[in-house]
Amino acid sequence: IYYIPIVGHPSAGKSSLIRILSGKKKVAVGKKSGTTRKINPMQISENLTILDFPGYGKVSNRSKSYADYLQQTTIDFLEEIKRNILVGIVITDLSNIEMMSSKLDQKGFIPIDFELTEFLFELTNKNVIVLGNKIDKLPAGTNFDQYLTFLPKDITFFPVSIKYKSGLDSFLIYLQMLCDDVFDELESYFWKYD
């Protein structure tokens, strides 16, 4: 069986993407971070499962030890399934791009989004897609180059708004291509949204 883990900071849009990819409306999505509290599998076909992970980072109204526990659980599980990961998807909130970039300027501090991307990039032998979500909250004409400079070289990156389904077509076509290369059974299935 192959997995597509979807990881990222709390409230980045992971569960919303899961609803789109799975076609299931019963995926819990919340306004506060921490709605997803355990790893939730969504079986797409006999041999492919999408995994919705809890937020990686600070969770509102939760202790640091709880957030650390969720982070370690994520790392341990990803290491356990690494040979069966088709592609990892990291969702990051681009509306925080300036804050993330400025934190990188502080000596020795790497924002969790970048740390998680690097980890998954190395773990999966570069089979990672980064979705820069919430482009609807950015000023028109925002240049994403400042964000890309902090990511691994040759990363596959798509700026999107999952909420408004903007920019998703290119990502979904790319994901379809990756799946078609591995699964004959998915040739008739196309990642789409309503």
Which strand ranges, in their side-by-side order, compose the sheet holding 88-93?
40-45, 48-52, 2-8, 88-93, 128-133, 156-159
pLDDT score for 30: 46
Residues 27-47 have a mean pLDDT of 68
Q: How far apart are CA 164 and CA 143, in angstroms?
A: 20
Cβ atoms within 10 A of the Cβ of 165, count?
A: 13
Spatial distance between the Cα atoms of 6 and 52, rounded to a whole number of angstroms: 5
**Which residues partner with 95 through β-bridges?**
none
pTM of the predicted protein model? 0.85
pLDDT at position 78, please?
94
Confidence of residue 83 (pLDDT cuts 50, 70, 90): very high
Reduce the DSSP state of residue 130 to 3 states and report it: strand
Over residues 139-183, the pLDDT tens digits come to 888 887 777 777 888 889 999 999 999 999 999 989 988 887 776
> Is the distance from CB of 170 to CB of 178 less than 8 angstroms?
no
Give the model's pLDDT for residue 151.
80
Whether 22 has a pLDDT exceeding 60, the answer reads yes
- Please tell me which residue, 155 or 60, carries the higher pLDDT value: 155
